[in-house]
Amino acid sequence: MANDWQPGYISLYQSGELAVRAQRLWQRLGACDICPRECGDNRLKGKTGYCHSTAEPVVASVCDHHGEEPVLSGSRGSGTIFFGNCNLRCRYCQNHQISQDPKAQRVNRIDCSTLARHMLHLQDDLGCHNINLVSPSHFVPQIVRALLEAIPQGLKIPLVYNSNAYDSLKTLKELDGVIDIYLPDLKYADDGHARKYSRAREYVRHSRAAIKEMYRQVGDLVVDEEGIARRGLIVRHLILPNGIAGSGESLTWLAAELSPQVSVSLMSQYHPTHKAYKYKELSRPISPAEYDMALDTMTRAGLENGWAQEMPSNRNYLPDFDKNGHPFQPQ
């Protein structure tokens, strides 16, 4: 891509549109409808809603992550901001230390100015290729408000929206032109499984609508001359044991309803953690046969763009947020 490329959020800031959107989003925290839960709690007055979060951003870790997809990690890492708490309750969450323990996350509450400084630190001090917002769905107003401070201080690298896809269409539309790269995880093809294992109602409808909107905004993946992502959609799909993720149906849907050209990241890293031991069907890693079946589906669907983690990789990507320092590096 041309060297004069810049993220869309810069022109939105310059026109004043970003400030307008930030104000609209912030007001919605007063009767929160930021995610599909639409719990209606007044987060501006200290209520915490389903996501256990007030109007203060909760940031559990900030680091240069070298284990993301190659187009994101590159040589300098993806500048990852791990938000605390979550709008899902996945029984097997590998980030459960920060997503499912709201009491422990109280010490990680910050303000939007600090969030802006984190973004600039990742860009200027660590030299990361992008700002990777992990579990951002319940903090969209705070992210946009932080951008209003970070942009005039020189923020100029792509924003990655790394979500569970349980996102609100109304909220995503406020991010049109703000987010450069969408990285949703398409978790389930069956609402019964979504309710049982993630306590999410109508996950299939919400996630598929969200991913369609993301694709409408950014389209297929575009990389620069060094092979680093600048814009586009990458859909992650974590294979779960015993067909719980509905891999065949989800991958076929992506090819048919979006495009065979869409970039897919097929993940074999499932490791039974958190409360997975309570469910026999979730208490083991995936089998080679389950992995091969998902790969075969990708091939038959014509999904040729993207990546597939090799087997076995179930222990290679487990973070530890309880230790000091980088959650993906040895102490």
Domain residues of the chain, as ranges?
Answer: 8-308
Nearest Cα neighbor of 14 from 164, 208, 152 is 152
For residue 112, the tally of other CB atoms under 10 A from its CB is 23
Distance CA 136, CA 111 (A): 15
Nearest Cα neighbor of 246 from 193, 287, 199, 201 is 193
Q: What band does 326 get if pLDDT is binned at 50, 70 and 90?
A: confident
For residue 242, the tally of other CB atoms under 10 A from its CB is 14
Q: For residue 209, with 0-12 CB atoms within 10 Å meaning exposed, 13-18 middle and 19 or more buried, which class applies?
A: middle
Specify whether the CB–CB gap between 72 and 129 falls below 8 A: yes
Cβ neighbours of residue 23 under 8 Å, at least 6 residues apart? Answer: none
Distance CA 8, CA 247 (A): 33
Domain 8-308: what homologous superfamily?
Answer: Aldolase class I (3.20.20.70)
SS3 readout for 162-218: ECCCCCCHHHHHHCCCCCCEECCECCCCCHHHHHHHHCCCCHHHHHHHHHHHHHHHH
List, in sequence order, every residue forming a beta bridge with 159; answer none if it has no partner: 131
Distance CA 1, CA 3 (A): 6
Reported as a single tens digit per residue, the pLDDT across 265-293 is: 999 999 999 999 999 999 999 999 999 99
β-strand 229-238 against 306-308: which pairing, if any?
A: unpaired
Q: What is the pLDDT of residue 330?
A: 57
Q: What is the pLDDT of residue 313?
A: 62
DSSP state of 252: H
Q: What is the pLDDT of residue 314?
A: 59
Q: What is the pLDDT of residue 327?
A: 80
Reported as a single tens digit per residue, the pLDDT across 80-91 is: 999 999 999 999
**CA dist 65 → 93, 129, 232 (Å):** 18, 10, 20
Distance CA 259, CA 301 (A): 10
Q: What band does 1 get if pLDDT is binned at 50, 70 and 90?
A: very low
Long-range (24+ apart) CB contacts under 8 A made by 319-323 are 319/94, 319/95, 319/97, 320/97, 321/60, 321/61, 321/82, 321/95, 321/97, 321/98, 322/97
Percent of the chain exceeding pLDDT 70 equals 96
Q: What band does 315 get if pLDDT is binned at 50, 70 and 90?
A: low
Phi, psi of 69 (to 5 degrees): -55, 145
Reported as a single tens digit per residue, the pLDDT across 222-239 is: 999 999 999 999 999 999
Lookup: tokens for 292: 């091969």
Residue keyed to tokens 């179930």: 314
Cβ neighbours of residue 97 under 8 Å, at least 6 residues apart? Answer: 60, 104, 319, 320, 321, 322
